[in-house]
Homo-oligomer: A and B are copies of this chain.
């Protein structure tokens, strides 16, 4: 029996093995992904992202526990761990995260290393999510640690993106927030028992008002002009990201957070936003695959020695990289 059939039949061991194949981008993994693809498109993909120190992992654990206690929904978690790009090992093992959830067949938690090239991580995460989706998990939570590109990738992959903040994380935080506000569907102020929570929330609120007015008025060459809400928010009517306080270590605010997520899902399906995000998501995936296929075909046509020679001429500054590419492509 193929991996994909076993996974569709609910075989947990086959699922674990397939995830490894998919993470390693093996031929077997690829074949299974093609077979499983028709069964995808049903899971609610929830991205959880934010700066280090905000307590994302415990929040994800609590949210998973909540879904398991209050619904029959099956929950998968893909946790993208901070880890060495060179050794490829995940720092936090799977077991660390499983404490409260182990033994529950309706939960599957998978840690991933952030190894590989640019784009590779986003691609594997998307593939993992597809496997869980096909395997019948109703909710797939994708958690990333990091600030910057990884958040954006999660937002492109997820239907609902949670951006997690915590009070008092230092002076760069304000700047980070501004950047990720636009990808947030729901803002979470975790560790809300810490001093400074009011200020953090107030700052977020005023930044939100700046970032998401229905119409923003600005001055251009002395004239007042207005521009509309950013395109990624107009897509599906106007969703103003709510701010939700949580204390994940105590499980507080989790019910309200789950409610906000449910409201966002309803909003997406009623407004047509779901379809738009699905399309955007699959387009990103298609483009990544096109890029990758083109590169591997190119590598087959250029002998290694020729490539090395050209690189040496670049190192010697005899040839610029742009001229080198032209040369290599002429073949």
Bound Cα distance A118, B288 (Å): 10
CB contacts (< 8 Å) of A289 on chain B: these are: 321-322, 324-325
Bound Cα distance A329, B114 (Å): 30
CB contacts (< 8 Å) of A87 on chain B: these are: 182, 230
Contact of A323 with B by CB under 8 A:
yes
Among B114, B295, B317, B320, the residue within 8 A (CB) of A149 is B114
Segment with Cβ contacts to B, from A37-45, A59-67, A198-206, A237-245: A37-45
Contact of A10 with B by CB under 8 A:
no
| Contact A82/B317 with A119-B119, A294-B295 known, Cβ cut-off 8 Å | no
Among B144, B293, B314, B322, the residue within 8 A (CB) of A33 is B322
Asked if A53 and B173 make an inter-chain contact with CB atoms under 8 angstroms apart, the answer reads yes
| Contact A85/B53 with A147-B145, A315-B282 known, Cβ cut-off 8 Å | no
CB contacts (< 8 Å) of A37 on chain B: these are: 317, 320-322
Asked if B311 and A279 make an inter-chain contact with CB atoms under 8 angstroms apart, the answer reads yes
Contact of A146 with B by CB under 8 A:
yes
CB contacts (< 8 Å) of A119 on chain B: these are: 118-119
Asked if A320 and B179 make an inter-chain contact with CB atoms under 8 angstroms apart, the answer reads no
A49-65 toward B: CB 8 Å interface, digit per residue (1/0)?
Answer: 00111111100000000
Bound Cα distance A172, B278 (Å): 31
Asked if B182 and A325 make an inter-chain contact with CB atoms under 8 angstroms apart, the answer reads no
Bound Cα distance A166, B172 (Å): 12
Bound Cα distance A237, B225 (Å): 61
A72-89 toward B: CB 8 Å interface, digit per residue (1/0)?
Answer: 000000000111111100
Asked if B170 and A169 make an inter-chain contact with CB atoms under 8 angstroms apart, the answer reads yes
Contact of A125 with B by CB under 8 A:
no
Given contacts A37-B320, A91-B179, A279-B315, 5 further A-B contacts (CB under 8 A): A30-B322, A82-B147, A84-B179, A286-B321, A289-B322
The list of the 9 closest CB pairs from A to B, nearest first, reads A53-B170, A146-B148, A52-B172, A37-B320, A294-B294, A82-B179, A85-B152, A91-B175, A34-B320
